[in-house]
Amino acid sequence: MKKNKNFDMNTPKFKIKKGDIVMVISGKNKGSIGPITKMFPKECKALVENINTVKVHQKPSQGQPGSIVEKTMPIHISNLSHVESGKPAKVCYKIDGEEKTLVFKKSGKKVRV
């Protein structure tokens, strides 16, 4: 059997994926809502659009002058939660036949359509 070099046994699995709408549940950006733009599974972090932005000072180079640029920084997965009707919601997997879908616990609606 061939080993998949992209697969790592120590990388955790998450219910949150790229494109999901999430809410920050703790930290300085608590209550902010936005979609996930990028995931970092080995660090257990995610980039959320326009949330946790910092100002980065760039040094001047030969081609351009120095400047201050805003950059979005990753947030730990434990500080994020799925959003249902503007509130953080718990999710679980439901198995229907051979299909495994992620649904909200309270309403039973699918998270990803």
Could you say which of 3.20.20.80, 2.30.30.30, 2.60.40.420, 3.40.50.300 is the CATH number of the domain covering 21-104? 2.30.30.30
Q: In the predicted model, is pLDDT for residue 1 greater than 70? A: no
Q: What confidence tens digit (pLDDT) does each residue in 84-93 have? A: 999 999 999 9
What distance in Å separates the CA atoms of residue 111 and residue 92, rounded to the nearest whole number? 10
pLDDT of residue 56: 96
Report pTM. Answer: 0.80
Q: What confidence tens digit (pLDDT) does each residue in 11-36 have? A: 788 899 999 999 999 999 999 999 99
Q: Give percent of the chain with pLDDT exceeding 90.
A: 80
Domain boundaries along the sequence of the chain: 21-104
pLDDT of residue 9: 74
What distance in Å separates the CA atoms of residue 28 and residue 62, rounded to the nearest whole number? 37
Q: In the predicted model, is pLDDT for residue 6 greater than 90? A: no
